[in-house]
Structure 1
Amino acid sequence: MLSGTERTKIKKGNHKAVFDTQALYDIIDEALIAHIAINDDNHPVVIPMLAWRLDNKVYVHGAKNSRLIKSLKSGKSTCLTFTLFDGWVLARSAFHHSAHYRSAMVFGQFEAIESHHDKDRVLNHFIEHIAPGRTQEVRLSNDKELSATDVLAIELRETSVKIGRHGVNDDKDDLDLRVWAGILPYRTVIGPLQPCDDLNLEISEPDYSQAYGDRWHRY
């Protein structure tokens, strides 16, 4: 999975390379947005798409007439990137300012999921990932909706992970400067839920906090 091909070899900042498969899974599972590259009419295009993981595959979905979906269905090679921004590194010098981040890159080809049963299964997995228990409450997709939707999968075979958590790296000559140095962390806070305007007031608010751990709001 975390392969050593020429395309996945990290050459710049190779000390940030990570070879832990769980780190790859964690980045994908938290990011849930992939930037996907295609060659459209002989020019490159990168399109952000909702993306989720089930076992060792990443899935995307979209309308059948989408240019991205049509390109990926053709079997052309593509590249996906996932990025999580974790904070700024504030150094004593302008030059050494940097960032903390987690990123993953995936190369390969997508394959279409043909059966409605399998489409329904992986789409429902996505819903359960963002809102546990919700597929037991909502109306599930019908045949017409599944026919109008393409679901594609890519195997996590050729991948790389790069994580920057290095902290401040000032030059020795700058250490005596009377300038604050350290980390300015960023974090994503999930919730609280915001009900729609036409919601029946008798419907109680669900609890999806288990899906988000310490990222769930604590007001």
Structure 2
Amino acid sequence: MPKPTFNNLKADKKEKLTKAFLREFSIKTYDEASLSSVVKLLGIAKGSIYQYFEDKLDLFMYLVAECSAVKQKYILHLKREDFPDFWTYYRALYQEGVKFDLENPLQSHFLHSLAKNIQSPSIAELGQKFQKQTIDAFTQMIQYEIDHGYFRADLPAATLAFFLYKSSLALNEHMQVFHHLKPEESIQKQEPVFAGQKDQLLLQTVDEYISLLRNAFEK
């Protein structure tokens, strides 16, 4: 996490630094991202970064925490018990994700590229940790549905959770293959990940995946 020297910076300087590194890690993988190129662009000494963060990983984890906190403001108010079924709730999470993307494009790009970033060899252990946390969260969601008699109980919740996790990743890949989603281009244009009509296509694709998943998960 940031050192006190970073927290003591003026808000505009903190924002400038944060945005510059968000863009770098969104365009490149963790191992490819260069602190030197960013500080050169900003016109500051590379050594100053180490006055703010312990190392590259410390900076990266700060960006993860910052972007996650912003997105949570959009989705944490959604409660499963407020929806008639899991799939309505699942779709609402994507709807809020679209709002997050449209209003916070840079943070959205960073989180969208996170799955690719954590595959970098130098942070493989961190990638496994993130993956486990995500699957554990899905497992809790699935177990709730099983316990309340909504989902099939003949398979472990973890198996269904892993399938849902992989389906969510496939959904993003689907958008790139069939709907020409190109995050690397939209970030250069400083546009949201789902710029133009891509947000509507995303929700349409979510509905298609739900129709498949419903048959696999429900009793």
> TM-score, length-normalised on structure 2?
0.23
More helix by proportion, 1 or 2? 2
More strand by proportion, 1 or 2? 1
* Greater relative CO, 1 or 2 (CA 8 Å, sep 6+): 1
Task: Work out which of the two has the higher radius of gyration on C-alpha atoms and give 1 or 2.
Answer: 1
